[in-house]
Structure formats: structure tokens, C-alpha cells
Amino acid sequence: MNALDLLDGCAAEQARPAADAQRPILRERGQREVFCGLTGIIWLHRKMQDAFFLVVGSRTCAHLLQSAAGVMIFAEPRFATAIMEERDLAGMVDAQDELDRVVNRLLERRPDIRTLFLVGSCPSEVIKLDLAKAAQRLGAVHMPRVRILNYSGSGIETTFTQGEDACLAALVPVMRALPADAPKELLIVGSLPDIVEDQFLRLFADLGIASVGVLPARNARDLPAVGPNTRYILAQPFLGDTAMALEGRGAKRIEALFPFGVEGTSDWLRAAAREFGVDPALTEQVIAPGRERARIALSKLRPQLEGKRITFLPDSQLEVPLARFLQNELGMELVEVGTPYLHRAHLARELESFGAQVRLSEGQHVERQLDRVRADRPDITVCGLGLANPLEMEGLTTKWAIELVFSPIHGFDQAADLAELFARPLRRRDLLEV
């Protein structure tokens, strides 16, 4: 069973009979202009500072990582590729022995590594190199100094942010177990910039929710515990497998909008507070200052975005909650919302506010989708860097999508920053006179 089967199964099992169940979704297949899951390494390695990501793949994988990492050339980056060569494929050497050699060399060179992820790629998946077995074998040798885990970030199985999902899902089994009678705990799931994470932790502390864990933790060896009394809340919409793995450990999901904008953040915090029996009056009191700040800040950006028509091309699965935010709080008009994968259960509430005229598409046939963009001529198109400049050259204003994954955009105090990411290309378009 591959990851995609799991995702489908997950969706089918949890989907509730939502208002949008009959909403038509344009499902297309064809060329997909998306990143593979390996790209997640770029932000995951910054978040988990004791972890190292070793991709087992081809020169293409190494080239992708360095292209995506751009100028982020560090003194000692915490990711690398074990590039498979002819002799690995021809069976002239045992690939597992080769992997042992590479891992041993790496761990000698980098004694500071405490968690090592062996990351599967398309080539390693296609030749069925058993990285799970390798992780187990190498883990036995290097524990307790280094914990060795594995997941797949291959393009054939994962799209962009799904790499984070696969990575976090690999962490779930090694989280410490809490007994059934342990006190109720809250778990925030999905990597957030440290500054945003701290804001949320402060708000939960003010709400009197005592025990709050974060996955991924800043230190991969310092994972939160999980048990039947754990209630988890997703901070990111692309965590289908991780959610399923947490359910498997007995944790229960708190259903909420994703914390973008005033509406999303309020709903997210209220849902958690409700689950933990916080007095609604206290909840309102705690969230009021942030709400008010976000409301003021957004009110200044609204005139720039109101009535503007926007299309999202599929990229990160953030498209649906972001579209909800832009429509409900800034008055933008949604033309097409494309997503690489639509998790119906996790996004059910998000979709409820979409008008019937919003075209929702899942998957991609990039040429046909670009034909639609050209016909629609939206004021702004959210797309990847492979498409952004070519569309600008055609006179269409774009917002490159990857920035939405790297910038702090969640929570009250980032709401205006998030809106500004969309307002800036429009303002620039009006500003330039050449």
C-alpha cells in the first residue's frame, strides 16, 4: 500500500457529510508543475536543529535540493544526498552496504547529529531499496547517540508539503506513550516559524491550558508524548498521514479552521479552548487584543485587495484556507482554487464558505489550467516559480507560492503580513512606469 492509497483511505473514512459533499470538483491529470516532497527538507532542517536529512537518490535529487535551497548555503548544511551510481543499480555492490558506508562516514564527520532521516526518493522507491530496514539496522548500531528514521519524499508519492507530512508521520511512532489516565494534553501539529509558535504557546498559557506539545519539536529528540488523552490540532492543512498516525496512537483531532486571519485564528483557538473546557468568557478575553490588532491591520489592506480576482494553482495544499481568508476577510473574489490534493475531512469547514461559483480543482493538467488562467485573466495568480515569470510576461500579475510556506503567516499578528504578500505584487504592478 503506498502513501496515496493511505491518503485516499483516510479521506474516505473521516469525511463527514458536509455541505460541500456534492460540490463539483474539477479533477485533472496531466503534467503537474509542482515540487516533490524532498523540498520539505529545506524548512524542516531549520526547524529541527539536531536532525540531519540524508536523501538516497540521484543527482537530480541533489540538484533539486540545491536549486530549492537557493542561496541558503550554510557552513555545514544539515542535509545531503547519497547519489546512487551505476554500480549501485547494476548490483555490483550491495546498496545496503554502500548506505552503511555513507551513513558511517557522515556520522563520523558530524558528531552533532542526533536524529538522522533517511529520505526515500523516486529512484530509491522504484528500485525498492528498503530504507526502513536500513534505518532499523543502522539505528541498532548507532543508538542511543543517533536515532535513525526514514520516510519518503519522492515525487511519485508526495507533492511539496506532503514531505513534511511524511516526515512527521515517521516521528509519531517514536513519541513516548502516555497512559490512558494521563491528564488531557494539547498537541499542535505542523511546523511553524518559532516566532509564531511562541505566540500560540503564550495564548494557550493565557487560556490556562497547562500542557501543550508541538510536533515537530525544535529538537527532534525532544518529542512530545502522545496517548488516548491527547487532543491534537492541525496548524497546517497538509498533514493527512500524520493525523492518521496520531489517531492510531489514540489521539483525537480538534476540528477547526486553519489559523489564518482573524476568523481562522479565532476559530482555531476557540476550538482548542472549548475542548479543554475553558470558560468562553476567558477565551474571548484572551483572544480579544490579538483579534483587534489583526482587524485594524487588515482594515488598512482591505481597500487594496477588495474585489480583486484571484486564482490559485496547486502547490502546497494551503490554497483552500488561504482562499477562505482572502475571500472572507479581504473581500477578494475567488476564480479558481487549485490544490494538489484535497483532504475533504480536514478542509470540510474551510470549504463551507466558498460560493458555488468558485471553481475548485484537484490535481493538474498544467497546460489546460494555464488556458483557463488566460481566459479568466484574474488580477493575481498564485503559482510556482516555473510559471510566475512566464505569466508576468503575458501581462498577468502573479504571487509566487513558495514564499507562503517559508514566511510566518499564521496567527493574529501575521494576518496583515499574509495579506501584504498578496497586496504587494498588485501595488508594484501599479507603481512601475516602465
Partner 1 sequence: MQLAVWTYEGPPHVGAMRVATAMEKLHYVLHAPQGDTYADLLFTMIERRGKRPPVTYTTFEARDLGKDTAQIFQDAAREAVTRFNPQAIIVGASCTAELIQDDPAGLAEAMGLPCPAIPLELPSYQRKENWGAAETFYQIVRTLADRSVTREPREGRPARANILGPTALGFRHRDDLVEIRKILVQLGVEVNLVAPLGATPEDIRNIGAADFNIVLYPEIADEAARWLERTFAQPCVRTVPIGVGATRSFIADVAELAGADPTPALGDTSSRMPWWSRSVDSTYLTGKRVFIFGDATHAVAAARIAREELGFEVCGLGCYAREFARDVRAEAARCGVEALITDDHLAVEDAIAAAAPELVLGTQMERHIAKRLGIPCAVISAPVHVQDFPARHSPQMGFEGANVIFDTWVHPLVMGLEEHLLTMFREDFEFSDEAGASHHAAHSPRRAPVADAVSEAPVEDIPAPAMAEEVGTLWTAEAERELKKIPFFVRGKARRNTENFAAAEGRRQIDLETLYDAKAHYAR
- Burial of 88: CB neighbours in 10 Å, binned 0-12, 13-18, 19+: buried
Binding residues for partner 1 restricted to 180-199, rule: CB under 8 A = 194-195, 198
Q: Scan for cell 516533490, then name that residue.
A: 36
From candidates 118, 271, 320, 416, binder to partner 1 by CB under 8 A: 416
Q: To the nearest whole angstrom, how small is the minimum distance from the Cβ of residue 197 to partner 1? A: 10
Binding residues for partner 1 restricted to 257-286, rule: CB under 8 A = none
Residues near partner 1 (CB under 8 A), total: 84
From candidates 26, 392, 421, 426, binder to partner 1 by CB under 8 A: 392
Give CA–CA dist 347/253, Å, rounded. Answer: 13
From candidates 140, 180, 281, 393, binder to partner 1 by CB under 8 A: 393
From candidates 301, 351, 360, 409, binder to partner 1 by CB under 8 A: 301
Q: Per this entry, what is the length of the chain?
A: 434
The CA–CA distances, whole Å, from 196 to 192, 217, 242, 325 equal 6, 13, 21, 18
DSSP conformational letter for 212: E
Q: Which stretch binds partner 1 (CB under 8 A): 83-91, 134-142, 219-227, 237-245?
A: 83-91
The CA–CA distances, whole Å, from 53 to 5, 85, 152, 397, 421 equal 25, 19, 11, 36, 30
CB 240 within 8 A of CB 216: no
Contact between 154 and partner 1 per CB under 8 A:
yes
From candidates 252, 293, 309, 429, binder to partner 1 by CB under 8 A: 293
Give CA–CA dist 251/9, Å, rounded. Answer: 18
Q: Which helix (H) or strand (E) holds 42?
A: helix 41-47
Q: Which stretch binds partner 1 (CB under 8 A): 15-23, 95-103, 236-244, 311-319?
A: 95-103
Three cell numbers, residue 264: 481562522
Q: To the nearest whole angstrom, how small is the minimum distance from the Cβ of residue 205 to partner 1? A: 12
Contact between 240 and partner 1 per CB under 8 A:
no
Binding residues for partner 1 restricted to 102-141, rule: CB under 8 A = 102, 105-106, 122-123, 125-127
Contact between 389 and partner 1 per CB under 8 A:
yes
Contact between 6 and partner 1 per CB under 8 A:
no
Neighbours of 293 (CB within 10 A): 15
Site string for partner 1, 317-356 (x = CB under 8 A): ----------------------------------------
CB burial readout 161-185, b (16+ within 10 A) else e? bbbbbbbbbbbbeebeebeeeeebb
Closest to partner 1 by CB, 31 or 136 = 31
Neighbours of 155 (CB within 10 A): 22
Q: Which stretch binds partner 1 (CB under 8 A): 31-39, 218-226, 307-315, 348-356?
A: 31-39
Closest to partner 1 by CB, 128 or 176 = 128
Q: To the nearest whole angstrom, how small is the minimum distance from the Cβ of residue 44 to partner 1? A: 16
From candidates 261, 314, 384, 425, binder to partner 1 by CB under 8 A: 384
Closest to partner 1 by CB, 230 or 414 = 414
The stretches of 127-228 forming alpha helices (DSSP H) are 131-142, 162-171, 194-206
From candidates 30, 248, 280, 307, binder to partner 1 by CB under 8 A: 30
Q: To the nearest whole angstrom, how small is the minimum distance from the Cβ of residue 22 to partner 1? A: 26
Closest to partner 1 by CB, 39 or 327 = 39
Site string for partner 1, 63-82 (x = CB under 8 A): xx-xxx-xx-x-x-x-xxxx
CB 189 within 8 A of CB 212: no
Closest to partner 1 by CB, 81 or 230 = 81
CB 95 within 8 A of CB 110: no
Contact between 26 and partner 1 per CB under 8 A:
no
Q: Which helix (H) or strand (E) holds 269?
A: helix 261-275
Give CA–CA dist 3/166, Å, rounded. Answer: 9
